Amino acid sequence: MARILITSAIPYINGIKHLGNLIGSQLPADLYARYQRGRGNEVMFLCATDEHGTPAELAAAKAGKPVAEYCTEMHGVQADIAKRFGLSFDHFGRSSSDQNKALTQHFAGRLDEADLIREVSEKQVYSHADGRFLPDRYIEGTCPNCGYDRARGDQCENCTKQLDPTDLIEPRSAISGSTDLEVRETKHLYLRQSSMKDQLDAWIDSKTDWPILTTSIAKKWLHDGDGLQDRGITRDLDWGVPVKKGDQDWPGMEGKVFYVWFDAPIEYIACAKEWADASGKPDTEWERWWRTDKGAEDVRYVQFMGKDNVPFHTLSFPATILGSGEPWKMVDHLKSFNYLNYDGGQFSTSQGRGVFMDQALDILPADYWRWWLLSHAPESSDSEFTWENFQQSVNKDLADVLGNFVSRITKFCRSKFSEAVPQGGTYGEREQALIDELTKRVRAYEGHMEAMEVRKSAQELRAIWVAGNEYLQAAAPWSVFKEDPEQAAAQVRLGLNLIRLYAVLSAPFIPETSARMLSAMNTLDTSWPEDVAAALDALPSGHEFSVPEVLFAKITDDQREDWQTRFAGTRD
Q: Annotated binding site for ATP, which residues?
A: 349
Rounded to an integer, what distance in angstroms lies between the CA atom of residue 44 and that of residue 37?
A: 10
Looking only at Cα atoms, what is the longest distance across the chain? 91
Return d(Cα 334, Cα 300) in angstroms, integer: 11
Residue 315's contacts (CB-CB under 8 Å, 6 or more residues apart) are: 193, 200, 218, 221, 222, 228
Handedness of CA 354, 355, 358, 363 (dihedral sign): positive
Tallying the residues shown for the chain, one arrives at 572
DSSP tag of 155: B
Q: How many helices (H) and strands (E) does the chain have?
A: 22, 19
Q: Residues 137, 121: contact at Cβ < 8 Å?
A: no
Residue of 182, 130, 129, 137 lying closest to 155 (CA atoms): 137
For the annotated binding site, the residues are 143, 146, 156, 159, 349
Q: Backbone dihedral region of 556: left (phi > 0), alpha (psi from -120 to 50 degrees) or beta?
A: beta
Nearest alpha carbon to residue 401 among 474, 497, 493, 473: 473
Q: Are the C-beta atoms of residues 151 and 141 closer than 8 Å to each other?
A: yes
The whole-angstrom separation of Cα 300 and Cα 315 is 19
Q: SS3 for 131?
A: coil
Distance in angstroms (rounded) separating the CA atoms of residues 187 and 252: 8
The crossing angle, in degrees rounded to 10, of helices 485-506 and 429-450 is 0
Report d(CA 50, CA 488) in Å as an integer: 57
Nearest-angstrom CA–CA distance, 401 and 475: 16
The side-by-side arrangement of strands in the sheet containing 139-142 is 151-152, 139-142, 169-173
Q: Which of 267, 263, 200 is nearest to 234 (CA)?
A: 263
Query: How far is residue 210 from each of residues 61, 227, 338, measured CA to CA in Å?
Result: 41, 21, 14
Residues 6+ away with beta carbon under 8 Å from 64: none
The answer to whether 327 and 295 have CB atoms below 8 angstroms apart is: no
Cα–Cα distance measured from residue 306 to residue 317, given in angstroms and rounded to the nearest whole number: 16
Q: Is 341 helix (H, G, I), strand (E, B) or coil?
A: strand
Amino acid at 450: E
Strand partners, 439: none
Give every CB contact of residue 270 below 8 A, 6+ residues apart in sequence. 93, 95, 97, 99, 100, 102, 103, 104
Q: Binding site for Zn(2+): residue ranges? A: 143, 146, 156, 159
